[in-house]
Amino acid sequence: MCQQKSPNNREDHVPERTRALSRYFFLQQTQQAARRLIGCLLVRRTRSETLMARIVETEAYLAEGDPGCHAARGRTERNAPMFGEPGTLYVYLIYGVHLCMNIVTAPEGKPEAILLRAAEPLAGIELMRRRRGREPLQDLCSGPAKLTEAFGVTPGHNCTSVTCEGEAHAHGDLFVVDPGDGPDEILVTTRIGLGEDAGADLMLRYLEPDSPWVSAPPKTDEPANYEKR
């Protein structure tokens, strides 16, 4: 059984705002940025508390050859943030109930993004529990909708920036930091939760190997490769 970290673990080591990733990080190839996000810290500062979680699972969505990308059929009012600046948040509703959080990548006008699928909670645990209505640590951020809910992300965060060039907004300060201690190796496999003919066979899902915090490990019959991050 894995050893769960204390709810207050690393509370005193939340990085400063000036150390947030710049938009140049999200200008690199989307697949590479999705890899490099594994091990990075998602941080949200509110007026009363700081939340932090270590990203352990992402998915890449590409402008070309990817029917699972929201922009595969062109620009719409919903997917317009994907055409914006790298580092822009793209928040959308699924099943009419849950929100998912993506970070836009690639140069402006090229609609690509990275879905934040799962993270290991590190700070602000009790607030995450209240928002999720769940007690177990492994049920707080182990899925894209769970992560979004735990961090209190709302439709109002759509089109805001997570980079060091972005300004704080009314919902608090949400950004990503690379602490420099990410895994040397990651697991690359197929994406999940996609419908038929939506690119479910593309190897665009990235996970920290053997992490108990991911949304779901690859099934035994699914392709999976260990690669350098």
Domain ranges of the chain: 18-182
pLDDT above 50: residue 168: no
Number of H helices, E strands in the chain: 3, 9
State the average pLDDT over residues 98-104: 96
pLDDT above 70: residue 93: yes
Lowest-confidence range among 103-117, 132-146, 156-170? Answer: 156-170
Using CA atoms, how far residue 92 sits from 46, 70, 115, in Å, is: 22, 10, 11
Q: Which amino acid, one-letter code, is at 142?
A: S
Lowest-confidence range among 66-75, 82-91, 142-151? Answer: 66-75
Q: Which amino acid, one-letter code, is at 210?
A: D
Among residues 204, 174, 186, which one has the least CA distance to residue 67?
Answer: 204
> What's the number of CA atoms in the CB half-sphere (13 Å) around residue 205?
25
Give the span between the Cα atoms of 91 and 164, in whole angstroms. 19
pLDDT above 50: residue 46: yes
Among residues 50, 26, 16, 15, which one has the least CA distance to residue 121?
Answer: 50
Element of type H or E holding 30: helix 30-36
pLDDT above 90: residue 95: no
pLDDT above 90: residue 19: no
pLDDT above 80: residue 7: no
pLDDT above 50: residue 2: no
Indicate the fold that domain 18-182 takes in CATH: 3-methyladenine DNA Glycosylase; Chain A (3.10.300)
User: DSSP strand E in 62-180: where?
Assistant: 89-94, 98-104, 113-123, 173-177
pLDDT at residue 3, rounded to an integer? 36
pLDDT above 60: residue 11: no
**159, exposed or middle or buried, with CB in 10 Å at 0-12, 13-18, 19+?**
middle
pTM: 0.89
Q: Mean pLDDT over all residues of the chain?
A: 88
